[in-house]
Structure 1
Amino acid sequence: MLFDDSHRDTLYNIIFQRRDVRRDFLPTPIPDDIILRLLTAAHHAPSVGFMQPWDFIVIKDPSTRRKIKEGFLIANEVSADKFQGDRKSLYRTLKLEGIEEAPLGICITCDRSRTGDVVLGKTIKPEMDLYSAVCAVQNLWLAARAENLGMGWVSILDDDVLYNTLNIPRDLNIIGYFCIGYVEQFQNTPDLQQFGWQDRRPLKDAIHFETWNTK
């Protein structure tokens, strides 16, 4: 199948309009057919050796999300203390999760033993299964934006909170916990850029030709 210019432009627009959403979530439930579409998109991510190492835990129960929020609050205090001065003050003003506000949480795991001990493509770089699971995250994120849903990655969270709360087997790796929901509005710029934490790095500074530092 060949795509025309309208398909191309739509894809780029979705990529450029994707945001890590932590605020402005609405309580509106997400229909199950849309959740299934999101998970189908995530499940079609590329994976090393076609091992498809991911699993998806879908969380709607407010009491479960409340327990996860409690874990975030503890981790957030630990994280805040790692910064000093103005940086610490700014950190404390930032909204960094929407665990209870978003009506849906999804936890993504990685089974590094799936399909056996020797996996095509992992023989030299064994971490490729983790990268594959992160590709599923990106598919989920872009699909969510295409459905006009906000999605945020809650990385300020100890894995033990998710292992214990969600009864995840300890032999699985946790990739992340994600808040998903409809939002009041999508921001024009990323929150951390908007509130002065970090600017976007110029693309030209990230491109090298033939060898490192050849601009």
Structure 2
Amino acid sequence: MTIDPPDFDAAFAARLDTLFAWRRDVRRFRPDPLDEATLRACLAAAHRAPSVGNSRPWRFVRVSDPARREAVIASFGQCNALAAAGYEGERAARYRALKLAGLKEAPVHLAAFCDGETGTGLGLGRGTMPETLAYSVVGAVQCLWLAARARGIGVGWVSILDPCAVTEVLAVPPAWRLVAYLCLGRPQEEHPDPELERHGWQAEDPRGAELYER
């Protein structure tokens, strides 16, 4: 049985483009708690993401335990200090001035893992490119991010972490590999441009918007 799809007209496409433009990596959060139903709606959107062989290998873990949160924050502090030491002079000063995570302020922490031993999909499509299993988790993160943005929720992806330490702290199954550690909450401020551009860390690289022909 087939059904007619919704009419995604030009007005809808324009609003969708606006949503993409306003999806930002948020580091400054208000401490207000998030409504559980809204969070679940964002997770439902994540579960609609494409995945290799329809494997759906993402596993989301909400980190609510204060001790575990503090351990993640400590990992960020250690990794951030090491990263800062890799820069010199003015660039080092600029790095230290950046706010690179909202771990202390965000009301919700979500860790996104890839279940490397999932039997769902029976391995379809990833025999020659097994990394597509983890890429599928990234797709789910992006769907969650856009669903959150549409509901006024900011998301920040924290990558300055020791994945092995975080995985151990969260006591997940051995086959789960950390793909993303996310902070969610209402943003303190709204900007249409990336924070790293706004604070002079880098200029936009136009190459990503180019189409190469072969």
Once superposed, what is the RMSD of the aligned Cα atoms?
1.7
Partner of 1:47: 51
Could you tell me whether the CA contact under 8 Å between 1:47 and 1:129 is conserved in 2? yes
Give me the whole-angstrom Cα distance separating, in 2, the residues matched to 1:132 and 1:100.
Answer: 28
Q: Distance in 1 between matches of 2:168 and 2:15?
A: 40
Q: Is the 8 A contact 2:60 2:111 kept in 1?
A: yes
- The one of 47, 50, 60 equivalent to 1:56 is 60
Amino acid at match of 2:60: F
Residue 89 of structure 1: CA displacement? 1.1
2:71 to 50, 67, 72: 67
Shift of 1:65: 2.0
Aligned length in residues: 209
Unmatched segments (≥5 aa) in structure 2:
none
Q: TM-score, normalised by structure 1?
A: 0.91
CA distance in 2 between counterparts of 1:197 and 1:158 reads 23
- Aligned equivalent of 1:138: 142
2:13 corresponds, among 8, 14, 18, to 8
Deviation, 1:70, is: 1.1
Instruction: Specify every segment of 5 or more residues in structure 1 that has no aligned partner in the other structure, as ranges.
Output: none
| Selected match of 1:127 from 127, 131, 134 | 131
Q: Does 1:200 align with 2:204?
A: yes
2:82 to 67, 73, 78: 78
Q: Is the 8 A contact 1:99 1:179 kept in 2?
A: yes
1:95-115 Cα distance to aligned partner (Å, 9 max, x none): 000011000010000012212
Contact kept, 8 Å, 2:54 with 2:121, in 1: the verdict is no
Tell me what 1:35 maps to. Answer: 39
Partner SS for 2:95: helix
Q: Give the aligned partner of residue 150 of structure 1.
A: 154
- Aligned-residue identity in percent: 38
Q: What does the per-residue CA deviation read over 1:111-154, in whole Å, with 9 as the maximum and x for residues that have no partner? A: 12212795111122111111111000100111111011111000
Q: In the alignment, is the contact (CA less than 8 A) between 2:57 and 2:116 conserved in 1?
A: yes
Q: TM-score of the superposition, structure 2-length normalised?
A: 0.92
User: Are 1:22 and 1:97, in contact at CA under 8 Å, matched by a contact in 2?
Assistant: yes
- Runs (4+) off by over 6 Å: none
